Structure 1
Amino acid sequence: MKPRDESELAEAIRAAAGPLRVVGGGTRPVVRAAGEALHIGGLAGVRLYEPAALTLVVGAGTPLAEVEALLAGERQRLGFEPVRWNALLGAAGESTIGGVVAANVSGPRRLQTGACRDALIGVRFVDGRGEVVKSGGRVMKNVTGYDLVKLMAGSWGQLGVLSEVAFKLQPAAATEATVVLEDLGLGDAVAAMAAAMGSPFEVSGAGWMPGVGTMLRLEGLAESVAYRVGRLSAALARFGAVRIQRESSGALWRALGEVAPLHGLAGAIWRFSVKPSEAPGVVARLGCPVVLDWGGGLIWAVLPEGVDARALAAPYSGHATLMRGPGVVFQPEAPAIAALGAGLRAQFDPRGLFSGGAGNGL
């Protein structure tokens, strides 16, 4: 099924006789649901763009690349820095903005500006009854139904099919630079990232990659960035030598967001969200190639297929997800949260059309 607009999407869902597999760009095949394919690429296009108001409303099937190109023309951006996982997960296709929202995809800047759900100010979606649901608004001050807006971000398509999303935007940074500390053990790397994020120098990214080291990004006006780079470098001198990346700074952060050091490695890809202070211990117990983002709060790891990384990394707070590998593995939810989720799915998808998640559609 390939609906061309929201009304056709609603009609297709009302007429569905069994489970549906929502297909967008096919770039995040984390949950492989069975069912008839429901392609949302026809729900594309800009509905409203007001650069002066920093507001964008766009169809959920719109390719992410088109959204980014549109914003770049006005020197604006999605502050949460959506990233692409195609190469990491071995998926083809082009990421859609609806898939970004459904998976709450948030890049390195999340630690400064928040996640995708924090930039999302409105959604339209079709629930399992085939009814159109609208929540939120098209301007930042409109917070009607805000909780439902947040629920749709990261719902993996289990509550309905997004048809339209609205964002608050940010001006693009005039320049950026990256402070790199080489040859640190992970314990010192996490300590250095914590010190940088606790400083007054407005760090917009903090991560660690093998072959690069500890990375700290600063963005803004050129004079401000130069000043803050100097002050931050001096503040971190106790951790060792500092190297400054300017021209190649953007490429470093794209590589981090896309988890480039793990591309092409055989095995299962796991994603951990933990307390940054726990990261060195978790990595030591995993004993495998890793990439760290969000100051150590996000760990990407590659392990042999069949190994339960959750058991290997225990104990830890937070959650883990098998992003590439056999089967579907999400962190078990606490009983109260699981009951709340089941209640929401029963309300929005009483026929269980989307119970398998978003399939290959993200």
Structure 2
Amino acid sequence: MDANFKPRDARQVEEAVKWAAGEDQPLEIIGQGSKRALGRPVQAARFLDLSDLSGVENYEPAELILTVKAGTPIAEVEKLVEDNGQELSFEPMDYGPLFGESSGRGTIGGVLAANLSGPRRIKAGAARDHVLGMEAVSGRGEIFNSGGKVVKNVTGYDLPRALCGSYGTLAVTTTVTVKVNPRPESSATFMLSGLSEDDGIKALCAAMGSSAEVSGAAHLPAGVNGGTSNTVLRLEGFAASVDYRFNTLQSLLRDFGSATRLDEDGSKVLWRSIRDVEPFAGSDAPVWRVSVAPTAGPQLLRILQNRMSAQAYFDWSGGLVWLSSADGEIHDADIRAAVGEVGGGHATLVRAGPSVRSNAAVFQPQPGPLAALSRRLKEQFDPKGILNPGRMVSGV
């Protein structure tokens, strides 16, 4: 048997996994390899390369449903739906710039395996919320289907939600069905400049609680934004509606200062930069993705700046903190302690060298009962532990 596998359909994936399970040979599951630096290095000598498992199986624009093979490049998927006036509303982020690679790489299967969602998550939900169905091969070498091709599907256990965010450790996804949505007619960004972290987050939270239907809410402190802070709110929809909601925000947030407006082109550039963590690209300093309560973000940053050299910016109305450690150390104990001090959350080490990621808890350690549940799920789907072993937890 060859050291590596490059299947072209689900049956060939099934054969490869059956062989690996029978021979106790771990497999590293890859698409285009764009996210191999995300998570812990996989403890496997053989690859299951899904890049040939590519192509559209069914697209029904009128029904807002798309079925594609898991190895289909995400850039092709996005262009297809854009050409039909539609979008993937969860706005999948692109880790290429952060990892020093070109943009536009990666596959739809990889996006869902990592549950990648962009700034629009605050309005549209996470990637897993847009999955209608999946075909996958378990670590037992068994093909299974879950979900369906309708927007409402409530039968059975929601396996797609379990597989999204599992980083290929439970099953090898071969085909996915996702819902798509009409692309907004226009967009603009409402921008306030010069606010402190606390005032910036207050402005974002006020906007999120209003009728303005904000689809992006971020604060870029001066330290990561070229000398002045920017607090930005994205508005999308029909042009007249965007104008009306922009005026609504001007009235609501007038005490925070006068606002400027970015047109559609400028808005797209800004939100792509926020989505893809471009403020921290072009370096190899450790980067963390920290999820806390929106109002806790500024406090978290103050605590950490007293313990380490840290820069950060805030997405999801302050609930997502992108954090960079300028001294090259990961400061995992400090960061996770600070997360506990501000009321709890999750901290994930996103960028660091392979040796560092091999010896650190890259993902937030789970409480005992949840860790036990995760182990049972792994044992059910992959009893031999052959799929991406060690990717999320050492030895699992």
- SS at structure 1 position matched to 2:18: helix
Letter in 1 for 2:348: T
**What corresponds to 1:10 in structure 2?**
14
**What corresponds to 2:390 in structure 1?**
356
User: Could you list the runs of 5+ residues in structure 2 that have no partner in the other structure?
Assistant: none
Q: How many residues are aligned here? A: 359
**What corresponds to 1:20 in structure 2?**
27
User: Could you list the runs of 5+ residues in structure 1 that have no partner in the other structure?
Assistant: none
- SS at structure 1 position matched to 2:165: coil
**What corresponds to 2:375 in structure 1?**
342
The 8 Å contact of residues 21 and 38 in structure 1, kept in 2 or not, is answered as yes
**What corresponds to 1:113 in structure 2?**
124
- SS at structure 2 position matched to 1:165: strand
Q: 1:267 aligns with which of 272, 285, 290?
A: 285
Moved more, 21-30 or 307-316: 307-316
**What corresponds to 1:42 in structure 2?**
52
**What corresponds to 2:146 in structure 1?**
135
1:331 matched to 2:364? The reply is yes
**What corresponds to 1:249 in structure 2?**
267
CA apart distance, 1:311? 3.2
Q: 1:292 aligns with which of 297, 305, 314?
A: 314
Q: 1:73 aligns with which of 72, 83, 103?
A: 83
**What corresponds to 1:233 in structure 2?**
250
TM-score, with length taken from structure 2: 0.88
The 8 Å contact of residues 103 and 156 in structure 1, kept in 2 or not, is answered as yes
- SS at structure 2 position matched to 1:330: coil
Alpha-carbon deviations, 1:253-290, whole Å to 9, x = none?
A: 00000111111234211110110011011111222111
Moved more, 82-91 or 273-282: 82-91
CA apart distance, 1:173? 0.3
% identical equivalent positions: 44
The 8 Å contact of residues 286 and 313 in structure 1, kept in 2 or not, is answered as no
Alpha-carbon deviations, 1:124-182, whole Å to 9, x = none?
A: 11110110111000111233345211111111111111111111111000000000111
- SS at structure 2 position matched to 1:341: helix
- SS at structure 2 position matched to 1:100: helix
- SS at structure 2 position matched to 1:89: coil
Moved more, 157-166 or 89-98: 89-98
Q: 1:30 aligns with which of 9, 25, 38?
A: 38
Letter in 1 for 2:320: L
- SS at structure 2 position matched to 1:227: helix
Letter in 1 for 2:329: E
**What corresponds to 2:345 in structure 1?**
318
* Cα distance in structure 1, aligned partners of 2:74 and 2:34: 11
Cα–Cα, structure 1 residues 294 and 264, in superposed 2: closer, same or farther, change >3 Å? same
CA apart distance, 1:14? 0.5
CA apart distance, 1:19? 1.0
1:55 matched to 2:65? The reply is yes
Letter in 1 for 2:99: L
CA RMSD, 1 decimal: 1.6
Moved more, 191-200 or 258-267: 258-267
Match runs of 1:80-91 below 5 Å: 80-91=90-101
**What corresponds to 1:307 in structure 2?**
331
Moved more, 254-263 or 82-91: 82-91
The 8 Å contact of residues 119 and 217 in structure 2, kept in 1 or not, is answered as yes
* Cα distance in structure 2, aligned partners of 1:202 and 1:305: 39
CA apart distance, 1:60? 0.5
Moved more, 28-37 or 274-283: 28-37
The 8 Å contact of residues 339 and 347 in structure 2, kept in 1 or not, is answered as no
CA apart distance, 1:313? 4.8
Cα–Cα, structure 1 residues 235 and 306, in superposed 2: closer, same or farther, change >3 Å? closer
**What corresponds to 2:190 in structure 1?**
179
CA apart distance, 1:314? 4.2
CA apart distance, 1:358? 7.9
Match runs of 1:201-240 below 5 Å: 201-209=212-220, 210-211=224-225, 213-240=230-257
The 8 Å contact of residues 136 and 149 in structure 1, kept in 2 or not, is answered as yes
- SS at structure 2 position matched to 1:88: coil
The 8 Å contact of residues 204 and 218 in structure 2, kept in 1 or not, is answered as yes
* Cα distance in structure 1, aligned partners of 2:124 and 2:364: 26
The 8 Å contact of residues 339 and 345 in structure 2, kept in 1 or not, is answered as no
* Cα distance in structure 2, aligned partners of 1:145 and 1:124: 15
